[in-house]
């Protein structure tokens, strides 16, 4: 017995040793773990701004905005070029674009730029706003704008493709920049105007390529209203800075002193619980059954007080692999389009939280580009009888009597519909689609590979059908058509920019390129081309638009009020903190907030 | 003695080599690859992925043939370089793991040790009393048989949301900056309690049942009956029974401590606790070869170390092992 306790003592001692030696490597135990990365962040920017003020032990709840729904892993750093991985808020709260785009009003709002115009067919001139300063006090000038684009010439970053049609960037004077294009791709360029984070020349010039593409950038320089205070495993903390240009120039003043973005837990129940407890002021996770929360007196609000509750963010498609039989047959694809009961997905799976897609798939903010005459003529709607008629007419018959049709050449049809495992709303929708297809005699089963496998099947073209939502809301429908029909088809695996169905139609490719060259203010010119595209897509049906995923947004009035809402008098901004939404007016949501106490 | 440990050591080194090789292979033979995932997450500007795909394939060293990747992997590993994580790109894997490990140790060491002590003590105690055996032990069965996920969520729901006694997510309050202060430490403990108690309860049930069964088995063994027949006091018989019964439990304990760095995946998911278990899940979901390799490397080391400790422990605790060694050297 004595010996036993001795051994136990060794074991415990060992485990304690293990426990204590691990933190020793990271400097100190749990307590200081985040400080190993925090100090660099907290000291530098703050020191230059305010008198070096250590972050308080506990944030004052009334002065802090808690949000979540963007960050899917521990935040790493503030490198704006590290798309998809930079800490939530990096582009938007800290780095800012030249313009912001308002998808609800469909207009560009000058931001760091004061104005911008095409001075000739191939020259775009931007006038920079005067009085904008970086967080270290130095002025933001035309040289910074030039540096931003020049960096992307050497380092392969998100905006690098601009150099395929951009010839040069020239700082005419401190506040004027000329962009000279080799080919003026007006539509493509318009997207860069609000999606490019402006960085500081002094800070980034001369950095090695790997530092630009993969650096952490722990001390970001900001023109925006907030500076990075700290980050740790579970959150990013932004601190309001003095001297944000828009306070003087536009009278905008964000009220929260701190913004804390909380990392998603990978378990939506936690997010739901935190919304119920009022820990979140703004949550952008998909929370099923939101209607119960909105109507249940929990103090939770959404953009629309009733269905569909959320604005639309992207189009969910059924992609079909056109290199495989029978998906290579337009008649078969058209039959599939008529067979799917989208209203069941919308009402049963989502409980009315999403809208059914227009047959063209264009998001509601692109309504004006929909050619209703074309849709009426060649569009589709849920009609299983029609689907059966189309199938029969194209020679799909049940020859072996198993209840499912065979292809005209007699081969069996047995399809798999992919969507990533764990995406529960899509999984349920997938089941509805499979059942819809079975109801018209097409054998199809839902298939749930994990996300990387889903992506690799998509890139390699080994899937049959899949649910996908590649085309996000943007200023121009050209981006939507680019995702649908991107050329060349051969390189889809490494390109990953769309056309996963491998749709080959030179006319479509040409029209898409033509559309790119139409000036953004030439709405009629755009409509003419888009109408042609719509006719081809609705006739050929290379993919089937199903429903619009929402800008999931749950807000609480407990500490902050005046959230964006469809109601009259309320601000109409995009109510989401996702990457790429701050520059679509979410920043205005912030500046319109009011403390609940007042 | 020397030969015994020498041979053991050789086996450990060989095991380490094979285990690490398998660890390297597994993620690479799963469908999908990290660059695709990274690109899919980043994708935004038309034509950007085209440019970035090749670049990042090179950055992660995935542009060379597999055999060369394998050699490069060992080369880097021997230099202590575990690579760059894809999931939390561009952080080095070692840093990512070191950030998470303290939370695991803080959570798992107390819950495993305390449940082991309490479980064994209670199991042995229950085996002695028929009434206890019939009333409280079924509770142990219920606790172990309960799906852990369900138990954890039930705890989170009742104590977290209904009664609001404990927070339901995070390692410490989201409103705190880590400092060495009373407020922060108490927040750490508050957030630690629910995951801890859920692990403790489940572990407790398991150990108690195991111990109770072992004691009953040992009490029925020939040597116990023989001792009893010799007229030994009941207490002595029980002591011998306990000493024998505790051996398998000890092995179990050491093994559990060995995989401690693997974290407690489900616990960490349910309570959003920032440990290694959750990292492993995410590493798989993003095909993060490097992070997965790193996590498993720690587990391999932990298991080997634990086994080594058991080897030593058995020499001390179990006279039979010692006798065997003496026979060998004789």
Chain B partners within 8 Å of A461 (Cβ)? none
B48 contacts A456? CB cut-off 8 A: no
Cis peptide before A284 (omega within 30 of 0): no
* Residues making up chain A, counted from first to last: 598
Phi, psi angles (nearest 5°) of residue A553: -155, 115
Cβ neighbours of B285 in A, within 8 Å? 450-452
Contact A96, A112 (CB under 8 A): yes
Kindly report the number of other CB atoms within 10 A of residue B114's CB atom.
15
DSSP calls for A226-255: EEEEEEETTEEEEEE-TT-HHHHHT-----
Contact in structure between B274 and A74 (CB atoms under 8 Å):
yes
Task: Write out the DSSP string of A196-221.
Answer: -----HHHHTT--HHHHHH---SS--
- Determine the straight-line distance between the first and last CA of chain A, rounded to whole angstroms: 69
**Better-scored residue on pLDDT, A322 or B247:** A322
Percentage above 70 pLDDT, chain A: 90
Query: Pick from B88, B269, B317: which is nearest to A3 by CB?
Result: B317
pLDDT at A360 over 60: yes
Cβ contact, residue pair B31, A452, below 8 Å: yes
3-state SS string for A267-307: CHHHHHHHHHCCCCCEECCCCCCHHHHHHCCCCEECCCCCC
pLDDT at A319 over 60: yes
The verdict on a CB contact (< 8 Å) between A14 and B96 is: no
**Highest-scoring range by mean pLDDT, A2-6, A443-447, A469-473:** A443-447
A7 band by pLDDT with thresholds 50, 70 and 90: very low
What is the mean pLDDT of the segment spanning A553-579?
94
Give bridge partners of residue A100 from the DSSP assignment. Answer: A109
Give the model confidence (pLDDT) of B22-45 as tens digits.
999 988 888 888 888 888 776 667
Radius of gyration of chain A (CA): 26
**Chain A neighbors of B99, CB-CB under 8 A:** 26, 33-34, 74, 233
A496 at B interface, C-beta within 8 A: yes
**Position B177 pLDDT exceeds 70:** yes
Q: Name chain B contacts of A235, Cβ cutoff 8 Å.
A: 174
Neighbour tally for B328: CB within 10 Å: 10
Q: Please give the Cα distance from A498 to B48 (Å, whole number).
A: 12
Instruction: Work out the number of other CB atoms within 10 angstroms of the CB of residue A235.
Output: 24
Contact (Cβ atoms closer than 8 angstroms) between residue A447 and residue A416: yes
Distance from the Cα of A364 to chain B's closest Cα (Å) equals 20
Average pLDDT over residues A107-131: 96
pLDDT value at residue B176: 80
Q: Give the span between the Cα atoms of A187 and A202, in whole angstroms.
A: 31
Contact between A455 and B272 using a beta-carbon 8 Å cutoff: no
Q: Find residue A181's DSSP bridge partners.
A: A166
Q: Which CATH superfamily is domain B101-318 in?
A: MetI-like (1.10.3720.10)
Residue that wins the pLDDT comparison between A87 and B315: A87
Q: What is the pLDDT of residue B260?
A: 74
Inter-residue contact A312 to A364 (CB < 8 Å): yes
Q: Over the stretch A278-308, which tens digit does the pLDDT of each residue have?
A: 889 999 999 888 888 888 888 899 999 988 9
> Residue A25: its pLDDT value, please?
30
- Read off the pLDDT of each residue in A517-522 and give the average, rounded to a whole number: 94
As a whole number, mean pLDDT of residues A474-503 equals: 84
Nearest to A7 among B39, B286, B317 (CB): B317
Task: Give yes or no for a contact between B299 and B147, defined as CB atoms under 8 angstroms apart.
Answer: no
Rounded to whole angstroms, the Cα distance separating B166 from A355 reads: 38
Measured between alpha carbons, how far is A88 from A374 in angstroms, rounded to an integer? 41
**Cα–Cα distance measured from residue A537 to residue A528, given in angstroms and rounded to the nearest whole number:** 15
CA distance A478 to B60: 34
The per-residue pLDDT for A10 is 47
C-beta atoms surrounding B312 within 10 Å: 14
Ordered structural domains, chain A, with CATH: 2-91+224-306+555-595 (3.40.190.10), 96-214 (3.90.76.10), 312-550 (3.10.105.10)
Q: Closest Cα partner for A239 from A224, A249, A251, A217?
A: A224
Across B4-33, average pLDDT? 89
Helix (H) or strand (E) holding A3: helix A2-25
Task: Report the pLDDT value the prediction gives residue A43, as an integer from 0 to 100.
Answer: 34
Phi, psi of A529 (to 5 degrees): -70, -45
Percent of chain B with pLDDT over 70: 95
Mutation target to probe the B interface, by most B beta carbons within 10 A, among A158, A209, A418, A509 is: A158
**What's residue A45's pLDDT?**
37
Considering only the beta carbons, identify the residue of B169, B178, B250 that sits closest to A33.
B178
Residue B319 CA to residue B330 CA, distance in Å, equals: 16
Dist. CA A257–CA A226, nearest whole Å: 9
Cβ distance A11 to B30 less than 8 Å, yes or no, reads no
CB contact under 8 A, A479 and B46: yes
Say if residues A214 and B84 touch (Cβ distance below 8 Å): yes
Q: Which residue of A has its CA nearest to B307?
A: A11
Of A24, A34, A37, A84, which to mutate for an interface test with B (greatest number of B Cβ within 10 Å)? Answer: A84
Q: Are the Cβ atoms of A216 and B31 closer than 8 angstroms?
A: no
Q: Is the pTM of this model over 0.95?
A: no
Per-residue pLDDT, averaged over A95-112, amounts to 96
Closest of B103, A354, A263 to residue A271, by C-alpha: A263
CB-based contact A477:A534 (threshold 8 Å): no
CA distance B112 to B260: 9
Residues 7-36 of A with CB under 8 A from B: 7, 10-12, 14-16, 18-19, 22-23, 25-26, 29-35
Q: Give kind and range of the element (H or E) at residue A522.
A: none
Which among A408, A413, A505 is positioned nearest to A465, based on CA atoms?
A: A413
- Is pLDDT above 80 for A93? yes
Q: How high is the mean pLDDT of chain B?
A: 84
Do A65 and A577 form a contact (C-beta atoms < 8 A)?
Answer: no
Range in B12-26, B80-94, B159-173 the model is least confident about:
B159-173
Contact (CB<8Å) A156/B176:
no
The H or E element containing residue A462 is: none
Cβ neighbour number for residue B182 with a 10 Å cutoff: 9
Q: Any chain B CB within 8 A of the CB of A313?
A: no
In whole angstroms, give the CA distance from residue A483 to residue A158.
16
Secondary structure (3-state) at A133 = strand
Does A455 sit within 8 Å of B103, measured CB to CB?
Answer: no
**SS3 letters for chain B?**
CHHHHHHHHHHHHHHHHHHHHHHHHHHHCCCCCHHHHHHHHHCCCCCHHHHHHHHHHHHCCCCCCHHHHHHHHHHHHHCCCCCECCCCCCCEHHHHHHHHHHHHHHHHHHHHHHHHHHHHHHHHHHHHCHHHHHHCHHHHHHHHHCCHHHHHHHHHHHHHHHCCCCCCCCCCCCCECCCCCHHHHHHHHHHHHHHHHHHHHHHHHHHHHHHHHHHHHHHCCHHHHHHHHCCCCHHHHHHHHHHHHHHHHHHHHHHHHHCHHHCCHHHHHHCCCCCHHHHHHHHHHCCCHHHHHHHHHHHHHHHHHHHHHHHHHHHHHCHHHHHHHHHHHC
How many A/B residue pairs have CB atoms within 8 Å?
Answer: 268
For residue A159, give the nearest of B45, B254, B274 by CB distance. Answer: B45
Q: Is the pLDDT of residue B164 over 90?
A: no
Task: Supply the pLDDT for residue A55.
Answer: 64
pLDDT band at A422; cut points 50, 70, 90: confident
The segment with the largest mean pLDDT, out of A335-339, B21-25, B108-112, is A335-339
> At CA B63, angle to CA B62 and CA B67, rounded to 5?
70
Helix axes B93-128, B182-219, angle to 10 degrees: 50
Which residue in A17, A31, A579 has the most chain B C-beta atoms within 10 A of its own C-beta, making it the best mutation to test that interface?
A31
In the 8-state DSSP scheme, what is residue A51?
A: S
Taking all residues of chain A, what is their mean pLDDT, rounded to a whole number?
A: 87
Q: Looking at residue A34, what is its pLDDT?
A: 32
Among A33, A68, A487, the residue to mutate for chain B (most B Cβ within 10 A): A33
| Cα–Cα distance measured from residue B9 to residue B17, given in angstroms and rounded to the nearest whole number | 12
Separation of alpha carbons A236 and A260, rounded Å? 6
What pLDDT does residue A104 have?
94
Q: Which residues lie below 8 Å from residue A574, measured CB to CB, with a gap of 6+?
A: A103, A104, A311, A551, A564, A581, A584, A585, A586, A589
Q: What is the mean pLDDT of residues B4-21?
A: 90
- What's the gap in Å between the CA of A205 and the closest CA on chain B? 20
Q: What is the pLDDT of residue A140?
A: 96
* CA end-to-end distance (rounded Å), chain B: 11
Asked if residues A397 and A407 have their Cβ atoms less than 8 Å apart, the reply is no
Q: Which residue has the higher pLDDT, A138 or B275?
A: A138
Average pLDDT over every residue of A357-375: 95
**pLDDT of A128 strictly over 50:** yes
């Amino acid at each position: 017995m004595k010996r036993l306790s001795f051994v136990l003592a060794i074991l415990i001692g060992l485990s304690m040793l293990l426990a204590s030696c691990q933190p020793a490597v990271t400097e100190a135990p749990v307590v200081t773990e985040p400080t190993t990365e925090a100090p660099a962040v907290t000291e530098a920017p703050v020191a230059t701004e305010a008198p070096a003020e250590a972050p308080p032990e506990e944030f004052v709840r009334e002065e802090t905005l808690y949000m979540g729904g963007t960050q899917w892993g521990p935040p790493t750093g503030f490198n704006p070029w590290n798309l998809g991985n930079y800490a939530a808020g990096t582009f938007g709260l800290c780095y800012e674009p030249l313009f912001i785009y308002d998808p609800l009003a469909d207009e560009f709002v000058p931001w760091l730029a004061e104005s911008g115009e095409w001075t000739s067919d191939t020259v775009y001139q931007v006038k920079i706003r005067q009085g904008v300063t970086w967080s270290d006090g130095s002025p933001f000038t035309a040289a910074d704008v030039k540096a931003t684009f020049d960096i992307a010439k050497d380092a392969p970053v998100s905006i690098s493709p601009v150099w395929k049609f951009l010839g040069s960037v020239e700082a005419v004077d401190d506040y004027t920049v000329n962009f000279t294009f080799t080919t003026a791709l007006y539509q493509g360029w318009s997207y860069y105007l609000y999606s490019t984070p402006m960085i500081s020349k002094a800070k980034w010039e001369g950095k090695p390529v790997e530092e630009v593409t993969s650096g952490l950038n722990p001390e970001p320089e900001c023109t925006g209203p907030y500076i990075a205070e700290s980050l740790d495993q579970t959150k990013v903390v932004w601190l309001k800075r003095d001297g944000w240009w828009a306070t003087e120039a536009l009278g905008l003043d964000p009220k929260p002193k701190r913004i804390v973005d909380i990392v998603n837990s990978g378990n939506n129940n936690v997010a739901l619980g935190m919304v119920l407890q009022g820990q979140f002021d703004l949550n952008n996770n998909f929370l099923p059954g939101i209607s119960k929360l909105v109507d249940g007196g929990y103090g939770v609000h959404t953009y629309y007080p009733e269905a569909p509750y959320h604005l639309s963010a992207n189009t969910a498609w059924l992609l079909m692999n056109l290199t495989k039989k029978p998906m290579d047959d337009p008649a078969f694809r058209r039959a599939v389009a008529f067979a799917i009961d989208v209203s069941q997905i919308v009402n049963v799976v989502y409980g009315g939280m999403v809208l059914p897609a227009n047959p063209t798939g264009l998001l509601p903010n692109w309504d004006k580009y929909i050619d209703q005459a074309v849709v009426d003529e060649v569009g589709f709607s849920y009609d299983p009888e029609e689907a059966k008629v189309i199938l029969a007419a194209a020679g799909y018959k049940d020859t072996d009597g198993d209840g499912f049709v065979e292809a005209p050449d007699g081969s069996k049809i047995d399809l798999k519909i992919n969507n990533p495992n764990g995406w529960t709303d899509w999984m349920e929708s997938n089941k509805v689609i499979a059942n819809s297809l079975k109801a018209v005699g097409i054998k199809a089963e839902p298939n749930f590979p994990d996300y990387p496998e889903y992506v690799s099947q998509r890139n390699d073209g080994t899937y049959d059908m899949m649910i996908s939502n590649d085309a996000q809301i943007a200023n121009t429908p050209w981006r939507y058509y680019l995702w649908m029909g991107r050329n060349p088809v051969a390189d889809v695996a490494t390109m990953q920019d769309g056309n996963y169905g491998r749709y080959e139609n030179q006319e479509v490719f040409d029209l898409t390129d033509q559309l790119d060259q139409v000036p953004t203010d030439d709405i009629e010119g755009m409509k003419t081309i888009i109408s042609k595209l719509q006719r081809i897509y609705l006739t050929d049906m290379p993919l089937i638009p199903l429903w619009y995923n929402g800008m999931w947004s749950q807000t609480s009035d407990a500490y902050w009020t005046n959230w964006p809402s469809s109601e009259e008098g309320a601000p109409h901004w995009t109510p989401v903190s996702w990457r790429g939404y701050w520059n679509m007016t979410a920043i205005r949501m912030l500046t319109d907030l009011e403390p609940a106490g007042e | 003695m020397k030969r015994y440990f020498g041979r053991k050591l050789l086996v450990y080194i060989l095991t380490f080599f094979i285990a690490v090789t398998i660890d390297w292979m597994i993620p690479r033979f799963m469908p999908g690859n990290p660059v695709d995932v990274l690109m899919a997450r980043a994708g935004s500007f038309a034509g950007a992925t085209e440019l970035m795909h090749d670049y990042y394939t090179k950055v992660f060293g995935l542009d060379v043939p597999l055999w060369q990747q394998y050699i490069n992997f060992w080369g880097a590993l021997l230099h202590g370089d575990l690579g760059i994580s894809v999931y939390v790109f561009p952080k080095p894997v070692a840093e990512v793991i070191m950030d998470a490990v303290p939370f695991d140790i803080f959570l798992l060491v107390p819950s495993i040790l305390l449940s082991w002590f309490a479980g064994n003590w209670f199991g042995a105690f229950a085996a002695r009393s028929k009434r206890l055996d019939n009333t409280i032990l079924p509770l142990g069965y219920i606790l172990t048989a309960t799906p852990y996920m369900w138990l954890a969520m039930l705890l989170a729901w009742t104590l977290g949301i209904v009664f609001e006694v404990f927070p339901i997510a995070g390692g410490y309050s989201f409103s705190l900056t880590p400092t060495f202060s009373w407020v922060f430490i108490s927040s750490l403990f508050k957030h630690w309690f629910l995951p801890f108690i859920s692990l403790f309860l489940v572990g407790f049930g398991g150990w108690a049942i195991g111990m109770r069964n072992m004691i009953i088995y040992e009490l029925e063994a020939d040597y116990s009956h023989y001792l009893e027949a010799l007229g030994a006091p009941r207490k002595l018989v029980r002591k011998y029974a306990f000493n024998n019964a505790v051996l398998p439990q000890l092995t179990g304990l050491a093994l559990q401590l060995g995989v401690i760095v693997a974290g407690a995946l489900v616990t960490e998911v349910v309570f959003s606790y920032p440990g290694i278990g959750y990292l492993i899940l995410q590493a798989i979901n993003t095909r993060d070869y490097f992070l997965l390799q790193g996590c498993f490397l720690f587990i391999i080391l932990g298991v080997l170390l634990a086994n080594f400790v058991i080897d030593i422990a058995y020499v001390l605790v179990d006279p039979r092992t010692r006798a065997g060694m003496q026979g060998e050297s004789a």
